[in-house]
Amino acid sequence: MSKITLLYSLVFGIFCLQSLIQGCLGEMVNRQLSENSNFKVKAVNLGGWLVTEGWIKPSLFDGIRNKDLLDGTQIQLKSRYIGKYVSAESGGGTILVANRTSASGWETFKLWRIDENTFNFRVFSNQFVGLQSNGVVAEATNPGHSETFQIIRKPDDTSRVRIQAPNGQFLQAKTQDLVTADYGGDGGWDDNNPSVFVMTILNGSLHGEYQVTNGYGPDKAPQVMMDHWNTFIVEDDFRFISENGLNAVRIPVGWWIASDPTPPKPFVGGSLAALDNAFIWAQKYGIKVIIDLHAAPGSQNGDEHSGSRDGSLEWGKTDQTIQQSVDAIEFLTARYAQNTQLYAVELINEPQSSGVALETLKDYYQAGYNAVRKHSSSAFVIMSNRLGGGVDPKELFRLASNLQLTVIDVHYYNLYSDMFNTMTPQQNIDYVNQNRSSDLSYITTSDGPLTFVGEWVAEWVARDATEGDLKNYANAQLQVYGGASFGWAYWTLKNVNNHWSLQWMIQNGYINLTN
């Protein structure tokens, strides 16, 4: 009997005595059986399903009007007349000027979309541009009517815009010292019209759940999302998963699922019914389910996959964001605790160390753990390590080691760092065999939490890679991540980018888990 198995027995023993729940003994036996057979998760993520990621399925955004102007899109405005960029002086808190020859932070505005033509402009220091008694200023903390502008695009050149203020007048830069809202006429699109600006849209716009639902708006979004949920992942995918050597799915969900069918705007209801279906299919095909709170209120990392509106990270900065997250965890656990396929609940995905304090996260993990345990003694509780430089991958060990059936989730991508840009295929493989292997060994201990490589992919930036290289790279990762004591999960099942699609990788012979 391993130390871990012994621990389970003790925990369940105590739980049985305490709760006198019928069937608890059976659960204990099951757990021991799975331990004894060294059950490990070989999972695939169902990414881009219940939490939208545009790069996984770009066509989901096709029907949005002005789809290049979604929430969080960053724009810069250059006055044709002055020949200089508009800037929120001091980054915000005061006037707008048009005196910058080059553009960076203060000259960049993040859009909050009201409808396809109507927007708020958020400045560097997070205030919103508005029309106040003292003119056009970036002073408002929350946008209201005074902060609401129309962007009118030139029909045959959509980078030319005029911006209508709430007083009906257009913004103009008559001089470089001040932007005002007092251009009344329709002066056409001439370069010497001081109300014409050239709008540059910065690369890297967010394409997440907020963008897609708010982009379609309340009339169209419910149907579009329903169609997506009903077609992107279907029962047959669970058959495919079960027939190809996988035994679990990790399903990213958003916090709004807990208030289905009437989630806060712009999110729309229906993802809960889709998750219910996943459990039915999982049961039918003997697949275990890991629920993963991938998008937390306010966003825990500013990425599109956290449901962020504009890239800000607000999670953990108010008690409300924590409480809503705990509530979502409790709601989901309570709903599926009696389902035999519920295997684990991941409390939050990829909190970012630059914005989420360790103490805040630990408090949340404790509260989230308690919420799971209120309803399930047997579900594993997964805690994602923080992303970011300088994080000790064991920073959650003290907390996790004192709790039962806990798992630390780490994500390994040979991407997102310049270091990989110059690596050859073989160097990538060596990196997996040496560095990832030692990273994983460091956290895989006999007395600590279990370890889970909850995201990895056989994608890389290596040039001149052959088919054989790619197979070797995938196999090296399978070998090394097979050493994680809880298991691993490929990111993701389906993706228009082939290497990111485990379905494609299996169907094309790059990955074979059945032998």
Ligand X SMILES: *[C@@H]1O[C@H](CO)[C@@H](O)[C@H](O)[C@H]1NC(C)=O
Report the interface residues with ligand X, using CB under 6 A: 89, 97, 99-100, 177, 203, 434-435
The smaller minimum CB distance to ligand X, of residues 105 and 218, is found at 105
Six token digits for residue 504:
């494609």
| Whether 362 contacts 322, CB under 8 Å | no
For 140, counting Cβ atoms within 10 Å of its Cβ (0-12 exposed, 13-18 middle, 19+ buried), the class is: middle
Segment (H or E) for 406: strand 406-412
State in Å, rounded, how far the first CA of the chain is from the last one: 28
Q: Cβ of residue 405: shortest distance to ligand X, in angstroms?
A: 32
Phi and psi, residue 348, nearest 5°: -165, 150
The smaller minimum CB distance to ligand X, of residues 60 and 82, is found at 82
Q: Cβ of residue 329: shortest distance to ligand X, in angstroms?
A: 35
Q: Cβ of residue 137: shortest distance to ligand X, in angstroms?
A: 12
CA neighbor of 403 nearest in space, from 381, 388, 426: 381
The smaller minimum CB distance to ligand X, of residues 16 and 391, is found at 391
Q: Cβ of residue 280: shortest distance to ligand X, in angstroms?
A: 42
The smaller minimum CB distance to ligand X, of residues 5 and 433, is found at 433
Beta bridge partners, 118, equal: 115, 150
| Whether 436 contacts 420, CB under 8 Å | no
Q: Cβ of residue 82: shortest distance to ligand X, in angstroms?
A: 11
Q: Cβ of residue 510: shortest distance to ligand X, in angstroms?
A: 25
Pairing label, strands 248-254, 41-45 = parallel
Report the distance separating Cα 72 and Cα 431, nearest Å: 35
The smaller minimum CB distance to ligand X, of residues 75 and 241, is found at 75
| Whether 489 contacts 250, CB under 8 Å | yes
Q: Cβ of residue 306: shortest distance to ligand X, in angstroms?
A: 23
Cα–Cα distance list, 68 to 78, 164, 219, 377, 509 (Å) = 18, 19, 20, 47, 37
Q: Cβ of residue 87: shortest distance to ligand X, in angstroms?
A: 7
Segment (H or E) for 201: strand 197-201
The smaller minimum CB distance to ligand X, of residues 175 and 498, is found at 175
Angle in degrees, CA 200, 206, 210, rounded to 5: 125
* Total residue count of the chain as it appears in this document: 515
Q: Cβ of residue 435: shortest distance to ligand X, in angstroms?
A: 4
| Whether 107 contacts 92, CB under 8 Å | no
The smaller minimum CB distance to ligand X, of residues 99 and 424, is found at 99
Compute CA 402 distance to the chain's CA centroid, rounded to the nearest angstrom: 29
Report the distance separating Cα 219 and Cα 269, nearest Å: 13
Q: How many other C-beta atoms lie within 10 A of the C-beta of residue 207?
A: 25
Six token digits for residue 452:
């889970």
Q: Cβ of residue 203: shortest distance to ligand X, in angstroms?
A: 4
Report the distance separating Cα 267 and Cα 513, nearest Å: 37
The smaller minimum CB distance to ligand X, of residues 83 and 286, is found at 83
Q: Cis omega before residue 261 (within 30°)?
A: yes
The smaller minimum CB distance to ligand X, of residues 434 and 479, is found at 434
Phi and psi, residue 297, nearest 5°: -60, 130
The smaller minimum CB distance to ligand X, of residues 158 and 283, is found at 158
The smaller minimum CB distance to ligand X, of residues 177 and 190, is found at 177
Compute CA 440 distance to the chain's CA centroid, rounded to the nearest angstrom: 23
Q: Cβ of residue 140: shortest distance to ligand X, in angstroms?
A: 20
